[in-house]
Amino acid sequence: MKPIHVGLLGSGTVGGGTFTVLSRNAAEITRRAGRPIRISVVADKNLELARQVTGGACRITDDAFAVVNDPDVDVVVELIGGYGVARELVMQAIANGKHVVTANKALLAVHGNEIFAAAQEKGVMVAFEAAVAGGIPIIKALREGLAANRIEWAAGIINGTTNFILSEMRDKGLPFAEVLKEAQRLGYAEADPTFDIEGIDAAHKATLIASVAFGIPVQFDKAYVEGITQLQAADIKYAEQLGYRIKLLGIAKRRDDGVELRVHPTLVPARRLIANVEGAMNAILVKGDAVGATLYYGKGAGAEPTASSVIADLVDVARAATIDPDNRVPHLAFQPDQLHDLPILPIAEAETAYYLRLQVEDRPGVLADVTRILADQQISIDAMLQREPQEGEAQTDIIILTHRCREKAADAAIAKVEALAAVQGKVIKLRLEELQ
């Protein structure tokens, strides 16, 4: 059968891994796809790198637009990244009637609606398994494996850099800044780690998970995003004493009045499997009404793990290329005319439990004042921990775990607590999810 000819844009880490795995497992992949899948041209500004990756096995060029305009290319694999030229290339490929495979979560989180609409119009596929959680097949699981379910929520560790940092902070009791430097030295964090440590990368991925899980348009601009830069080692230690671990989670939760889409440090019970995912590994927990909770775990980045997802998408394209476009698996799992307009709720309307740490003067009556304020906002206390003050100390820490409440109620209570004369500085607030 006629091979599928692929144009590869980018020969960096993932591009190199894709070329390597596709070459090494060519026979097995052909057996699965029903036809050979061959990279016929690679585009990269660094021609020397492209030569090293391909070993002269295919054409190379420094003109990516020449690839997307090449009539002999059936599928364009976009591994350049970013919002700018990558968008132009993907849109041009679609306009030329080519299928697209991409690992570019930022591009799809911001411009996905436009890209999917263009692909639908042209009858081509846009596959993006590698855009979320590297080698973990979470998009296929949500789109196909869990198709019988009404997905209730998904919560995931979907950024390996931040998970490595939090694991090190917990294991070694070190401050964030010190662990970040070590992560950069080891290659887990970029020289500019902003997208990772500020939660933006996780929010891109959570946005795509929400869209596929609930059948809603891509709405990254409405996600609540909070990174780990302000997280203190003391709170990781206190959480541990209370039976919790802190993870940066991407959370997508369906409610009757809308969808919660948020990324932030989260206390998770230490007995949960996802709480024990350490280092640079990823994991996503998905709750469906029929299947219950399902956990997906594996490497969220790296050359060959991500290439595994890229090539899985290529196999899907090879299998489905000749199918009537209306009968293919929809880009966002639901038929394009059946997407819901459920709103993304503001963070003030989120419902969760809270960890509150107060530094207070060590004198009678303080705790009574705090609990009264919480009660006035209909917030009940689940657990409490008070640090014994050291000799000579005039203040101490009180840690309170609340039951679930609206964020706006928690914020109102915190503002009143901070106004108490006995409370020193700001109250530390972290969200808590039981993930049952």
What amino acid positions are annotated as catalytic residues? Answer: 205
Amino acid at 178: E
Half-sphere exposure of 413 (CA within 13 A, CB side): 27
DSSP 76: E
CA angle 157, 106, 189 (to 5 degrees): 55
DSSP 73: -
In angstroms, the Cα distances linking 404 to 185, 209, 249, 351, 377 are 40, 24, 17, 6, 12
Q: What is the dihedral of CA 72, 74, 80, 86, to 10 degrees?
A: 90
CA 205 to chain centre: 3
- Residue 8's nearest CA partner among 23, 29, 30 is 23
190/3 Cα distance (integer angstroms): 38
Amino acid at 80: I
24/356 Cα distance (integer angstroms): 53
Where helices occur in 123-244 by DSSP H, the ranges are 138-140, 160-172, 176-186, 194-197, 200-214, 233-241
In angstroms, the Cα distances linking 65 to 70, 110, 342, 364 are 8, 22, 37, 72
Sole residue written with tokens 């190199």: 16
- Whether the Cβ atoms of residue 164 and residue 240 lie closer than 8 Å to each other: no
- Residue 215's nearest CA partner among 329, 347, 341 is 341
- Residue 99's nearest CA partner among 306, 331, 301, 327 is 331
Half-sphere exposure of 265 (CA within 13 A, CB side): 24
